[in-house]
Structure 1
Amino acid sequence: MWPASPASSTPPAATASPGPSRHDPGVPAPLPTVPPARRRPAMTTDWQLVSLDAAPRQPWRNGGGTTRELLAWPPGAPWTVRVSVADVTAPGPFSRFEGIERWFAVLEGAGVELRVGGGAQRLDPGTEALQFSGSAPVDCALVDGPTLDFNLMAAPGLARLRRVQGRWDFRVDGPALVAVYAHARPARLTLLETTLEVPPRHLLWRHRTWRAHGTLAGEGALWLEARTP
């Protein structure tokens, strides 16, 4: 099991071709473009690109912030993987999600202090994402004003989340959802002999069966991998 996000929707019960081959040899070939995607997609094996700024805001029931959902998988069914970005504007407790693992990473702001169970953890845009059980009591304190935060929720044992600083080489095998989120700076993903650039404030994702090595380059980019049946 891999070592393992406030959000407002209900959890389950318990997404290029290479750039042109003909171009001026003095000018680099452009990177492939990926069409915008819907947050709740049809089943697809193509790369999908989702804009944070195009995602609608969903207010929290407790009034402490809003959530923008970027991806819920699988489509047309209770989700087992959910990716969102939250504006946290006030301190307070997180909702509990029984039977779910959660990750929380700060994107903007001075940071937060999360008290999970009996321990406290301070997070800011330079720290690794924090994983915790969705059933644990969590209280959030703001260090110095509102924050913008990345949230991942998944069924237990399926997912992992990593913040990349610089370059990271990886391998992915089997059926899985993979995704890259870039926020302040673009990220560059090379996988299956194709290189794709992820613009700031976008999530790039794809679901398929993999047998591949890849490289992710970026400052503060987030890599998400979730195994699927």
Structure 2
Amino acid sequence: MSWQMIPLEEVAPTPWRNGGGVTRELIAWPTPQDWDWRISVAEVEKSGPFSRFEGVERWFAVLGGAGVRLTVDGQTHEMTAQSAPLRFDGAQDCACELIDGPTEDFNLMLKHGHAHARLVRVQGALDVVVKPGTRVAVYAWDEPVRVQVNRKFATVSPHTLAWRALANGASVRIEAPTALWMELAR
């Protein structure tokens, strides 16, 4: 399977019910109605609570803006575009306070028992060995990302999600000033 590319600009925004922002769902696997994992980018325009997702593990990373303070189940995490992604239980109470204006944020959600994942912020280069049967994805923020899988190279344009399955596993190298790397497995 080759890389599947999903440019952010080609995905229509969905307004939040509370009016605090919009979300662009880049992919929901295997279907949008019954997903095991879901990747989206949100524009957060005002402070407020996050929706609760029972039975879902959430990963959160700031892409742009000054950042946010997420208070998850009483514990506050200050998140910026340089911070490591935060993983938390979607059933927990989560409040978002904008630090200094709107932000753009990345979200990975996984249903408990259906998938597990790893989300890593890449700043420079990252080398990984991926186990067989894993789906991988990379999100290029504001600069292109170069990905090498074994001996084949691909370039991911800014504001684009690229994903693929690695049935046989692989050695992977990701090179980018800033990007997000994901490994998704059952």
TM-score (norm 2): 0.95
Q: Does residue 131 of structure 1 match 2:87?
A: yes
> For the structure 1 residues 208 and 74, does the alpha-carbon distance in structure 2 shift closer, same or farther, using more than 3 Å as the test?
farther
Q: Is the 8 A contact 1:174 1:227 kept in 2?
A: no
Partner letter of residue 183 of structure 2? E
Instruction: Give structure 1 regions of 4+ aligned residues with deviation exceeding 6 angstroms.
Output: none
List aligned pairs for 1:26-41, cutoff 5 A: none
Partners of 1:192 and 1:81 in 2: CA distance: 26
Given candidates 58, 66, 75, the residue that maps to 2:31 is 75
Q: Secondary structure at the match of 2:132?
A: strand
RMSD of aligned Cα (Å): 1.2
- Alpha carbons of 1:83 and 1:76: their partners in 2 closer, same or farther (altered >3 Å)? closer
1:56 and 2:6 matched: no
Counterpart of 1:160 in structure 2 is 118
CA distance in 2: counterparts of 1:94 and 1:211, whole angstroms: 35
| Structure label with greater radius of gyration | 1
Distance 1:208 1:170, change over 3 A: closer
Q: Give the equivalent residue in structure 2 for 1:226.
A: 184
Which residue in 2 is equivalent to 1:145? Answer: 101
1:115 partnered with 2:67: no
Asked whether 1:106 is paired with 2:62, we answer: yes
Q: C-alpha displacement at 1:207, in angstroms? A: 2.0
Work out the CA distance in 2 between the residues paired with 1:64 and 1:211.
Answer: 40
Does 1:211 find its partner at 2:165?
Answer: no
Distance 2:31 2:135 in 1: 12
Percent of matched pairs sharing the same residue: 46
> 5+ residue gaps in structure 1?
1-44
Matched, 1:196 2:146: no
Displacement, 1:77?
A: 5.7
Report the CA distance shift for 1:96/1:76 in structure 2 as closer, same or farther (over 3 A).
closer
Contact 1:113 1:141 in 2 (8 A): yes
The amino acid that maps onto 1:201 is H
SS in 1 for 2:168: strand
5+ residue gaps, structure 2, are none
Q: 1 or 2, which has the higher strand percentage?
A: 2
Amino acid at match of 1:150: F
Question: What amino acid is the match of 2:170?
Answer: A
Residue number among 173, 177, 183 corresponding to 2:131 in the alignment: 173
Separation of aligned partners in 1, 2:32 and 2:74: 38
Does the 8 Å CA contact 2:24/2:41 hold for their aligned counterparts? yes
Where 2:106 maps in the other structure, the secondary structure is strand
